[in-house]
């Protein structure tokens, strides 16, 4: 039998096998799923696209436009050239970095301590922390405490206030409990202390959790407007969000030579406020997606 005849027979066998295979049925559930989630994604993207388009539109409109009627970047020029925003932006940058690091330190150490089964009073401490998530002292006691700590009229209040977040502590606790106990036991056999296990074993395995929780801390501190409004009256201590809001909503804009509408400036301000995290998120996406299931899987 020649080589060509062998190839023909092989092709015939493949065709016969493919014909005998049962045809795949259409999975309508998946189709409906794709359609529904595509619609939801479009609903989410429409207002974002409108804000982005309006920030480049010289003509202030309230209707939805796919593209700017008259393209301009004057709104962003006004924000970049407004010197009154420089100090608040620096304040926001510093408090976000320090606040995120402080929050991660408290969340990781607190979560690691609560994950230790041999800790005396572990359950009572956990219930005490959970109690604070349901009930709080109220605004007046909180204000008095911040005043005693000399944090009123200080940008560092954004760091201290958000450093202890019980929700993030519980998330880290659940994640640490999901790390195999065999790794802890092996490290103890090698003579590693409890804190040595934390720094050498636990933290290196917690990149996804640290990225997710750290991003939540950073967004919270960066976007905090109400704390600044309540506790800070010194214009040198306010953050970027507060100053930007006053500049746009209260008409506290400097006189410029740019022909830009208030609507355009308003939308440019929104984009400027969320731009740092739009740039940062793609670099943390892989860790953030992994961190969605923090504490969901345990040994």
- pLDDT at residue 246 greater than cutoff 90: no
| Torsions phi, psi for 136 (to 5 deg) | -130, 165
**CA-CA distance, 213 to 201, in Å (whole number)?**
19
Let me know the angle formed at the C-alpha of 69 by 64 and 73, rounded to the nearest 5 degrees: 105
Say which CATH number the domain at 81 has: 1.10.3720.10
Asked whether residue 178 is assigned to any structural domain, the reply reads yes
**CA-CA distance, 76 to 167, in Å (whole number)?**
37
- pLDDT at residue 133 greater than cutoff 60: yes
Place of tokens 């604070």: 132
71: β partners: 57
| Angle between helix 262-290 and 207-223 (nearest 10) | 160
**CA-CA distance, 227 to 161, in Å (whole number)?**
9
Can you give the pTM of this predicted structure? 0.77
For 76-89, write each residue's pLDDT tens digit.
888 888 888 889 99
- Within 8 A by CB and 6+ apart from 104, the residues are 210, 213, 214, 217
Q: How many residues does the chain have?
A: 299
| Torsions phi, psi for 173 (to 5 deg) | -60, -45
Regarding predicted confidence, which is higher, 255 or 137?
137
For 99-113, write each residue's pLDDT tens digit.
999 999 999 998 888
100: left (phi over 0), alpha (psi -120 to 50) or beta: alpha
Domain that includes residue 251, residue range? 76-292
- Within 8 A by CB and 6+ apart from 238, the residues are 88, 91, 155, 228, 232
Asked whether residue 27 is assigned to any structural domain, the reply reads no
- Number of structural domains in the chain: 1
Instruction: Give residue 81's Cα distance to chain centre.
Output: 28
Asked whether residue 115 is assigned to any structural domain, the reply reads yes
Place of tokens 């023909």: 8
- pLDDT at residue 96 greater than cutoff 50: yes
For 252-285, write each residue's pLDDT tens digit.
666 566 677 778 888 888 888 888 888 887 777 6
DSSP alpha helix (H) spans, the chain: 3-20, 28-55, 74-81, 86-114, 122-134, 139-148, 157-163, 166-177, 181-189, 194-197, 207-223, 226-231, 240-249, 262-290
| Torsions phi, psi for 71 (to 5 deg) | -70, 135
Asked whether residue 50 is assigned to any structural domain, the reply reads no
Asked whether residue 62 is assigned to any structural domain, the reply reads no
- pLDDT at residue 10 greater than cutoff 70: no
When the pLDDT of each residue in the chain is averaged and rounded to a whole number, the result is 81
Asked whether residue 19 is assigned to any structural domain, the reply reads no
- Three-class SS state of 61: coil
Which of the 8 DSSP states describes residue 118? T
- pLDDT at residue 297 greater than cutoff 50: no
For 179-236, write each residue's pLDDT tens digit.
888 888 888 888 888 888 888 888 888 888 888 888 889 989 998 988 998 899 888 8
Asked whether residue 69 is assigned to any structural domain, the reply reads no
Asked whether residue 108 is assigned to any structural domain, the reply reads yes
């Amino acid at each position: 039998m020649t080589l060509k005849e062998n190839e023909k027979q092989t092709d015939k066998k493949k065709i016969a096998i493919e014909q005998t295979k049962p045809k795949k049925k259409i999975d309508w559930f998946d189709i409906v799923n794709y359609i529904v989630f595509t619609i939801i994604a479009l609903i989410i993207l429409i207002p974002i696209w409108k804000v982005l388009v309006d920030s480049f539109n010289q003509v202030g409109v309230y209707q939805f436009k796919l593209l700017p009627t008259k393209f301009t970047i004057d709104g962003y020029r006004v924000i970049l050239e407004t010197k009154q925003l420089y100090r608040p932006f620096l304040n926001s940058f510093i408090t976000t970095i320090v606040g995120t690091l402080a929050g991660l330190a408290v969340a990781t150490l607190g979560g690691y301590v609560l994950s230790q089964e041999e800790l005396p009073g572990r359950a009572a401490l956990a219930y005490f922390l959970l109690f604070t998530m349901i009930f709080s002292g109220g605004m007046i006691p909180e204000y008095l405490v911040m005043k005693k700590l000399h944090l009123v009229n200080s940008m560092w209040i954004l760091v201290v206030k958000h450093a202890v977040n019980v929700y993030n502590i519980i998330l880290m606790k659940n994640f640490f409990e999901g790390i195999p106990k065999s790794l802890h036991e092996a490290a103890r056999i090698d003579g590693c202390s409890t804190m040595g296990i934390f720094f050498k074993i636990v933290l290196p395995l917690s990149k996804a959790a640290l990225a997710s929780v750290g991003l939540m801390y950073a967004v919270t501190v960066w976007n905090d407007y109400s704390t600044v409004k309540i506790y800070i009256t010194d214009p040198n201590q306010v953050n970027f969000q507060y100053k930007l809001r006053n500049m746009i909503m209260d008409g506290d804009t400097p006189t410029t030579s740019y022909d830009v509408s208030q609507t355009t400036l308003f939308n440019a301000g929104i984009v400027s406020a969320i731009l740092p995290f739009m740039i940062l998120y793609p670099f943390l996406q892989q860790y953030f997606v992994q961190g969605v299931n923090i504490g969901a899987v345990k040994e």
